[in-house]
Chains A and B, each alone.
Chain A
Amino acid sequence: MNILVVLRMIPDSAGELQLAEDGRSIDREWLDFQLNDFDDHALEEAILLKEAGGAKVTAVAVGEGTNRVLQMAAARGADEVVALQAEEDAMISSREIAASIAAMARAKSADLVLCGVQSSEDVFGQLAPYVGALLDWPHVSGTNRIVANGAVLRVTQERGAGVAVTYELATPAVLGVQTASKAPRYVSGSKLREASKTPIGRAAPESSGFERSAEIITLRLPVQGGSGENLGGDAETVADRLVSILAAKGLARN
Chain B
Amino acid sequence: MASTLPLWILVITALALTAWRSRRYAFALANAPAAARFDRPMLRLQGVMVAIGMHRKMLRKPLSGVLHAIIFISFFVLFTATIDAFGSRLFPGFSLAPIGGETWIAALQDIFSVLMLVGVGLALYQRYVLRPARFDGSSGSDAAIIYVLIVLIVASLLLEAAARIAGGADGSWRPVASALAGLLDRAGIPAHQGEELFYWAHVGAILAFLVYIPGSKHRHMFLAAPNIYFRSLEPRGLAPAVPEAREAPGIDSLGQFDWKQQLDLLSCTECGRCQAVCPAYAAGLPLSPKLLITDMRDALAAGPSAAPLVGGVISEETLWACTTCRACMEACPVEIEHLPKIIDMRRHLVDEGRVSPGLQEALSNLTRLGNSMGKPSKMRARWTRELGFPVKDAREEPVDVLWFVGDYASYDPRVQEITRKVAELLTAAGVDFGILFDAERNSGNDVRRAGEEGLFETLAQSNIDEIKACSFNRIMTTDPHSLNALKNDYQHFGATFEVLHYTALLAELIAAGKLDLHVADGARVTYHDPCYLGRYNGGFDAPRELIRAAGYTLHDMPRCRENSFCCGAGGGRIWQGDDGVTERPSENRIREALSLGDVAYFVVACPKDKVMYTAAIDALGVADRLKAVDIAELLVPLTSQALEIPTVETT
Query: A residues engaging B (CB < 8 A)?
Result: 12, 14-16, 30, 32, 34, 68, 183, 185-193, 232-234
Contact = CB atoms under 8 A, between A and B. Distances in A.
26 contacts: A12-B376, A14-B376, A15-B378, A16-B376, A32-B376, A68-B368, A183-B357, A186-B350, A186-B353, A187-B353, A188-B249, A188-B350, A188-B351, A188-B454, A189-B367, A189-B452, A189-B454, A190-B351, A190-B453, A190-B457, A191-B454, A192-B455, A193-B457, A193-B458, A233-B617, A234-B621
Contacts of B350: 186, 188
Interface in B593-650: 617-618, 621, 623-624
B230 interface: no
A188 B452 contact: yes
A192 B454 contact: yes
A183 B618 CA distance: 34
Contacts of B367: 189, 192
B355 A186 contact: yes
B458 A189 contact: yes
Nearest to B354: A186
A32 B458 CA distance: 19
B252 to A, nearest CB: 14
A251 to B, nearest CB: 27
Given A15-B376, A32-B376, A234-B621, A189 B453 contact: yes
A8 B452 CA distance: 27
B433 interface: no
B146 to A, nearest CB: 45
A190 B350 CA distance: 10
Contact of A190 (B369, B377, B454): B454
Contacts of B145: none
Contacts of B88: none
Given A189-B367, A189-B454, A191-B454, A233 B618 contact: yes
Nearest to B454: A189
A9 to B, nearest CB: 11
Interface string B363-387: 1100111000011111100000000
Q: 10 tightest CB-CB pairs across the interface, nearest first?
A: A189-B454, A189-B455, A190-B454, A233-B623, A15-B376, A185-B353, A186-B353, A186-B360, A188-B351, A32-B376
B376 A186 contact: no
Nearest to A183: B357
A234 B617 CA distance: 10
A30 B376 CA distance: 10
A32 B374 CA distance: 11
Contacts of B353: 185-188
Contacts of B617: 233
A191 to B, nearest CB: 7
Nearest to A12: B376
Contacts of A68: 368
Contacts of B375: 14
Nearest to A15: B376
B456 interface: yes
Contacts of A192: 367, 454-455, 458
Nearest to A30: B378
A188 B377 CA distance: 21
A162 B367 CA distance: 35
B500 to A, nearest CB: 28
Contact of A191 (B351, B357, B618, B623): B351
B363 A186 contact: yes
B364 A186 contact: yes
A71 to B, nearest CB: 11
A193 B278 CA distance: 35
Contacts of A16: 376, 378-379
A193 B455 CA distance: 9
Contacts of B249: 188, 190
Interface string B448-463: 0000111111100000
A32 B454 CA distance: 22
A67 to B, nearest CB: 13
B649 to A, nearest CB: 15
B377 A32 contact: yes
A69 to B, nearest CB: 9
Given A16-B376, A32-B378, A189-B456, 11 more contacts: A15-B376, A188-B249, A188-B351, A188-B452, A188-B455, A189-B452, A189-B457, A190-B249, A192-B367, A192-B455, A233-B623
